[in-house]
């Protein structure tokens, strides 16, 4: 991120914008403090709100001089109970409780569940979780328009609380009509990543891909057990992935979430797809200027696991200390990345190159850079793919991605270890131009010293996407 950062880290930070972070000064401060990508949460706010934030982010980007990514997070289908005559009821363990399609306000014995799709697929033994998993019922009988359940975990259930159904795949599309309107707006706005919520099956991703096309990169949020069952097929279809531990932690036993997180990160790394770890990373900083030690360890674990990015949600969107949250997250990442054990773990976790030229070049770039103790690998990339592949190798030096387009530069903002530089209007037509441009970017990045060797990866002919086939070593004069 911008050279004005006190600490430039390999692991990126995604910061959610919201009521606490919508003005120019705050957004600029968050970028300077370490935010590489800003998340727009389409579950909240109007299109006008998001357009205003988009304009500010692009203004900050122009001022700081390096690309900033924007992630538009679609809401996805929201499953909720209806309303109660008195606004809420108390469910007692062992009691019977019915869900039905009647719009009559509920009481202690029943409530409307305005989702016939749930009733259609639920079976005796299926669990329904309410209010982020605080309450749980087990289905004991199913009718044409009702579910009879037994309360397993009781408590207060109030109007419009959310419902999770972890045991069955629901016949509900990942994109609602609201999402389709939001998606069209976000793409016209010019966002860099679109996050898809409530993914259960590969077909959900294919549908979104058709709508998004090449206008943005697609990021899948993994928050349903059914998505984990289809993990590799889903990751094959997406450009990036998020471990969305909020809903995932509701629908899976808590003890399973860390293992699933590690599994997702490993597979995303193998496939060369950026992976974001999200939800409750510094949750206490919504109301406290410092995190708990457990939260600091949580961030550190994601960095040790090799995640491309970690994310702040309410901490930066609605909390009292958005700037402090980004600064502290940046400091935690920096401290871990200076640790010899972290560096050793990254080296041990490197993967064998796959059997094609671009991957062989990426692997060789990392090996040559390590051998020469190069201060940087420079990757010429038309759409970002070369930088993505080199990042998969987790080299010990920074990756400087040179691209002719702002769009590719912004997409690289999410990728581990990559700093993007847009060479708009500068044509590279031969090897001499390539070396001169790479050395110019190294100087701009203030990396290395006279006599150091840098490693350059590019494709010949120049300017052709997907043609990475050349490795070059050049000395800094």
For residues 98 and 112, what is the distance between their CA atoms, to the nearest angstrom? Answer: 9
Q: Which of 279, 381, 386, 403 is catalytic?
A: 279
Q: For 107-129, b where at least 16 C-beta lie within 10 A, e where not — what string?
A: eeebbbbebeebbebbeeebbbb
Output the 3-class SS for the chain.
CCCCCCCCCCCEEEEEECCCCCCHHHHHHHHHHCCCEEEEECCCCCHHHHHHHHHHHHHHHHHHCCCCEEEEECCCCCCECCCECCCEEEECCCCEEEEECCCCCECCCEEECCCHHHHHHCCCCCEEEECCCCEEEEEEEECCCEEEEEEEECEEEECCCEEECCCCCCCCCCCCHHHHHHHHHHHHHCCCEEEECCCCCHHHHHHHHHHHCCCCEEEEEECCHHHHHCHHHHHHHCCEEEEEHHHHHHHCCHHHHHHHHHHHHHHHHHHCCCEEEECCCCHHHHCCCCCCHHHHHHHHHHHHHCCCEEEECHHHHCCCCHHHHHHHHHHHHHHHHCCHHHHHHHHHCCCCCCCCHHHHHHHHHHHHHHHHCCCCEEEECCCCHHHHHHHHCCCCCCEEEEECCHHHHHHHHHCCCEEEEECCCCCCCCHHHHHHHHHHHHHHHCCCCCCCEEEEEEECCCCCCCCEEEEEEEECC
80 is an active site residue:
yes
Residues 6+ apart with CB under 8 A from 475: 451, 452, 453, 454
Q: Which of 10, 28, 39, 53 is catalytic?
A: 39
Q: Which of 58, 78, 80, 263 is catalytic?
A: 80
Residue 3, phi then psi, degrees to nearest 5:
-65, -10
3 is an active site residue:
no
Q: Which of 127, 221, 224, 392 is catalytic?
A: 221
Q: How many residues does the chain have?
A: 477
279 is an active site residue:
yes
180 is an active site residue:
no
Report whether 40 contacts 70 (CB < 8 A). yes
Q: Which long-range contacts (CB under 8 A, 24 or more apart) does 212-218 make?
A: 212/183, 212/187, 215/187, 216/72, 216/186, 216/187, 216/191, 216/192, 217/192, 217/193, 217/411, 218/193, 218/194
Residues acting as catalytic residues? 39, 80, 221, 279
């Amino acid at each position: 991120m911008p050279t004005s950062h006190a600490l430039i880290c390999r692991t990126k930070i995604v910061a959610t914008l919201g009521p606490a972070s919508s003005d120019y000064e705050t957004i600029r401060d968050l970028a300077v403090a370490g935010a590489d990508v800003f998340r727009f949460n389409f579950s909240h706010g109007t299109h006008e709100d998001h357009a205003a934030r988009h304009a500010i982010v692009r203004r900050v980007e122009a001022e700081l001089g390096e690309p900033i990514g924007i992630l538009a997070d679609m809401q996805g289908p929201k499953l909720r109970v209806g309303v109660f005559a008195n606004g809420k009821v108390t469910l007692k363990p062992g009691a019977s409780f019915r869900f039905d399609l009647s719009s009559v306000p509920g009481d202690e014995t029943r409530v409307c569940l305005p989702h016939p799709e749930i009733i259609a697929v639920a079976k005796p033994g299926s669990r329904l979780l309410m209010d982020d998993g605080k309450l749980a019922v087990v289905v004991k009988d199913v009718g044409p328009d009702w579910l009879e359940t037994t309360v397993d975990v009781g408590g207060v259930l109030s109007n419009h609380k959310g419902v999770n159904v972890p045991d069955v795949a629901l016949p509900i599309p990942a994109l609602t009509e609201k999402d389709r309107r939001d998606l069209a707006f976000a793409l016209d706005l010019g966002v860099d990543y679109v996050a898809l919520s409530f993914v259960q099956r590969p077909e959900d991703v294919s549908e979104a891909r058709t709508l998004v096309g090449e206008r943005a990169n697609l990021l899948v949020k993994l928050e349903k057990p059914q998505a984990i069952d289809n993990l590799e097929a889903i990751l094959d279809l997406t450009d990036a992935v998020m471990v969305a531990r909020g809903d995932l932690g509701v629908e899976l036993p808590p003890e399973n979430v860390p293992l699933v997180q590690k599994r997702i990160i490993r597979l995303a790394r193998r496939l060369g797809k950026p992976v974001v770890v999200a939800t409750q990373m510094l949750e206490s900083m919504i109301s406290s200027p410092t995190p708990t030690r457990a939260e600091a360890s949580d961030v550190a674990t994601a960095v040790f696991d090799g995640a491309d990015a970690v994310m702040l949600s309410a901490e930066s969107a609605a909390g009292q200390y958005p700037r402090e949250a980004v600064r502290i997250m940046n400091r935690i990442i920096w401290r871990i990345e200076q640790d010899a054990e972290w560096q050793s773990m990254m080296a041990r976790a490197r993967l064998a190159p796959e059997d094609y030229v671009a991957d062989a070049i990426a692997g060789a770039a990392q090996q040559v850079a390590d051998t020469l103790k190069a201060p940087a690998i420079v990757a010429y990339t038309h759409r970002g793919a070369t930088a993505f592949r080199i990042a998969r190798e987790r080299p010990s030096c920074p990756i400087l991605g040179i691209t002719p387009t702002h769009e590719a530069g912004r997409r690289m903002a999410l990728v581990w270890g990559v700093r993007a530089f847009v060479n708009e209007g500068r044509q590279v037509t031969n090897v001499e131009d390539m070396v001169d441009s790479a050395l110019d970017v190294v100087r701009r990045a203030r990396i290395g010293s006279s006599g150091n060797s840098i490693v350059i990866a590019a494709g010949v002919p120049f300017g052709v996407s997907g043609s990475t086939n050349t490795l070059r070593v050049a000395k800094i004069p």
